Amino acid sequence: MPALWLAQLLCPNRHAICALAYDIEETPAADVEAKLQAVIHARVGGLDPWCGLCGSRTLHIEHRKLPTDDWEEMTEALRAVERANLATREFMHRSRN
């Protein structure tokens, strides 16, 4: 049975720059951290290595257990959060122009 966790790249104000869900039984936390660092260093998806909300360049990775170990249920929940975050990002972008 999977053991689902979430690794988030956060600023000190806990604004999430990006995150990865993973099964800790199959993927070591260190591997997930390496992937998050690679995403930032390569600027995958246009991500910048700082917080777009507060401007902090101090980032850290935090791991936490997800509320369920059901991939289907968690994918649905995480996609809903992703949609909300994308809407917020679009709102912030429009309000700056």
- Best CA proximity match to 4, nearest among 86, 59, 77, 61: 77
pLDDT of residue 1 exceeding 90: no
62-78, pLDDT tens digit by residue? 999 999 999 999 999 99
Where does residue 14 fall: left (phi above 0), alpha (psi -120 to 50 degrees), or beta otherwise? left
Mean pLDDT (whole number) for 91-96: 84
* C-alpha to C-alpha distance for 81 and 94, rounded to whole angstroms: 20
Q: Which structural domain range is residue 8 located in?
A: 4-96
Number of domains in the chain: 1
Longest dimension (CA), the chain: 48
* C-alpha to C-alpha distance for 93 and 24, rounded to whole angstroms: 35
pTM confidence score = 0.83
